[in-house]
Amino acid sequence: MCVARYQQVADSIRGQIADGTLSAGDRLPTEPELVDEYAVSRLTVRHALDVLQAEGLVEKFHGRGTFVRRPPQRVAYVSACSDGLPQPQAENVEIETYVRPGSVLAEAPLTALMQVERGTELAEYLYFSRRDKRPYSLARIHVPLDLAELLDTPTARLPWGAEIPHGLQAAGVRLAHITERVTTRPPTQDEADHLNLPAGATVLEVERTSVDDRGRVVEGAQLVAPQDRIEVVFSKALPGSEGGDLR
């Protein structure tokens, strides 16, 4: 067998998307129709569509059909560590963000991020954003209770809660260090529900911690978004001409 049948079917549909025969938002033929069209079994058609879905080219909806996705159009998360870059953000993409303040008792992963004892009460800001009317990102930002009192109730402008470290700084907290860590992983059940993710999806996570000049973690953020809808950008201006070493 030179090329698997399901790959041939996938290639054919991929080509139709590439050359415009099928364009963003269009519904593909139904699975039974594709079975007739390509003279293969339904499993083979499904396998082909699964491949295309994994590639992010199409999206399947139970009971509705399979649709061509918009080209990726990622939203940039510009690192809090960056110099010189504005937060350009969502040019033509509409993103609405909601914040919900509250508090939680620190549990397993949070204790490590915030470097606190299990059970410590922390202020929590839950950011939930939608893009094109659909769930897009989730951010959980935690701040020690005593510092949270210094903050104004945040008005969400960006889905990642960049105003929190700014607010802390404005309130007199002396930030010494910001660190960000980018990984991908399968979503938790909770995240999959909120973000409406299909089975097998992967999220990209940014963990951010802000540390003050006494070494205390004053903010810990966990941002989660579909891996193919986001990019993370870091930028650094190097001091002077040649004096500065890279790190």
Partner DNA sequence: GAGTGGTCTAGACCACGAG
Partner DNA sequence: TCGTGGTCTAGACCACTCA
Residue (74 or 120) nearer to a second copy, CB: 74
- The only residue of 44, 79, 137, 210 in contact with DNA, by rule CB under 7 A: 44
Q: Map residues 129-158 to x or -, x wherever contact with a second copy holds by CB under 8 A.
A: ------------------------------
Kindly state the smallest distance separating residue 17's Cβ from DNA, in Å: 15
Q: Does 31 bind DNA (CB under 7 A)?
A: yes
- The only residue of 11, 16, 26, 47 in contact with DNA, by rule CB under 7 A: 47
Q: Does 126 bind a second copy (CB under 8 A)?
A: no
- The only residue of 154, 161, 165, 220 in contact with a second copy, by rule CB under 8 A: 165
Q: Does 60 bind a second copy (CB under 8 A)?
A: no
- The only residue of 13, 17, 28, 116 in contact with DNA, by rule CB under 7 A: 28
- The only residue of 166, 192, 197, 222 in contact with a second copy, by rule CB under 8 A: 166
Q: Map residues 168-197 to x or -, x wherever contact with a second copy holds by CB under 8 A.
A: -x--x-xxxxxxxxxxxxx-----------
Judged on CB neighbours under 10 Å (0-12, 13-18, 19+), 22 is buried
Kindly state the smallest distance separating residue 202's Cβ from a second copy, in Å: 7
- The CA distance from 95 to 73, in Å, is 13
Residue from 19, 2, 21, 8 nearest 52 by CA: 8
- The only residue of 65, 104, 124, 126 in contact with DNA, by rule CB under 7 A: 65
Find out whether 218 and 210 touch, Cβ atoms under 8 Å. Answer: yes
Tokens of 190: 């909770």
The SS3 call for residue 193 is: helix
Residue (104 or 192) nearer to a second copy, CB: 192
Q: Does 196 bind DNA (CB under 7 A)?
A: no
First to last CA, the chain: 53
- The CA distance from 127 to 138, in Å, is 6
Count of beta carbons in the 10 Å neighbourhood of residue 106: 21
Q: Does 246 bind DNA (CB under 7 A)?
A: no
Residue from 155, 165, 167, 162 nearest 98 by CA: 155
Cα separation values, 57 from 10, 40, 43, 129, 219, Å: 10, 21, 19, 23, 37
- The CA distance from 145 to 120, in Å, is 9
Q: Does 39 bind DNA (CB under 7 A)?
A: yes
- The CA distance from 122 to 235, in Å, is 31
Which spans of this chain sit near DNA (rule: CB under 7 A)? Answer: 1, 4-7, 28, 30-33, 39-44, 46-47, 49, 60-66, 199
